[in-house]
Amino acid sequence: MEGVELENNSQGKTILLEKSDLVSLESSNKTRRLALVAVLTALYVAANSVPIDAFIGGAGFITAGIIILPVIARLVRPVESLVVAIAAPLGLYVFQLSVIPIFGFYGMLIPSIAIVLGSLGFYKSPLVPAAYVAFGAIWYVLFSGGTLVWLIPYFLVLAMVGVNQIQRFTSGSRTEVVYFCLLVTMCEQVTMNIGSISLLQLPGNLWTLIAPFMFIERTVAVVGSSSVLAALIRVRTTLRIGRI
């Protein structure tokens, strides 16, 4: 029967797989990926029921979802990210969690854009989410009337993107993971800011008051998500997650 040869790099041996085995292996992998997408979607919705900070108004406006979001963006591939980016925000909308009571339908875009851009940033190019962060900074300067102090994390992540383009961070290293989480969480922040400026029409002087809270929240998001990813990287072989 015709088969396919695969090299086992760890032992230097060649394994012969029958075509039926290869099909079964591929099917099993697809099943695991679908299960991962389903679990992450449910986990994100559940995490958004855990409040961290009221921020502008409303209990639980900022939730534990900010910690889970970069993890999801790292674990799902670009095509899979589209599924999560649709299903997870729909869950938030149905249960009226997180930013949905404040922004309504627009609030669904806040996590969905970050998930898709984060996945593209990891699996394709970090310049994709970086361009969105730069766009958000320009939008803020043109239309918010707020303090430029707000842009500190924007400049920080864009500087890290520039450094990474010159000298790539080692994939899976602490620095690379923190950099990735900051990039994703700032994509989330950009969409939230655009909504706050254009829909909520926050006054310019309010940005100075809420800037410290934003810094704390993004720090919590980066520290929390990077810690989760660091733990997953250590056990990825056991969990058969694949690339992280």
Residue-level pLDDT at 119 = 98
How much of the chain, in percent, has pLDDT values that exceed 70? 84
Cβ burial, residue 101 (10 Å; 0-12/13-18/19+):
middle
Which three-class secondary structure state does DSSP give residue 125? Answer: coil
Tokens of 240: 């058969």
Is the confidence at residue 21, as pLDDT, over 90?
no
Residue 6, CA distances (Å) to 24, 30, 108 in order: 15, 19, 44
Could you tell me which residues are beta bridge partners of residue 3? 18
With bands split at pLDDT 50, 70 and 90, how would you rate the model's confidence at 3?
low
Residue-level pLDDT at 61 = 64
| DSSP secondary structure letter of residue 177 | H
Contacts of 107 (CB under 8 A, 6+ apart): 89, 92, 93, 98, 99, 100, 195
**pLDDT tens readout for residues 38-76:** 999 999 999 999 987 665 433 346 799 999 999 999 999
**pLDDT tens readout for residues 122-140:** 999 999 999 999 999 999 9
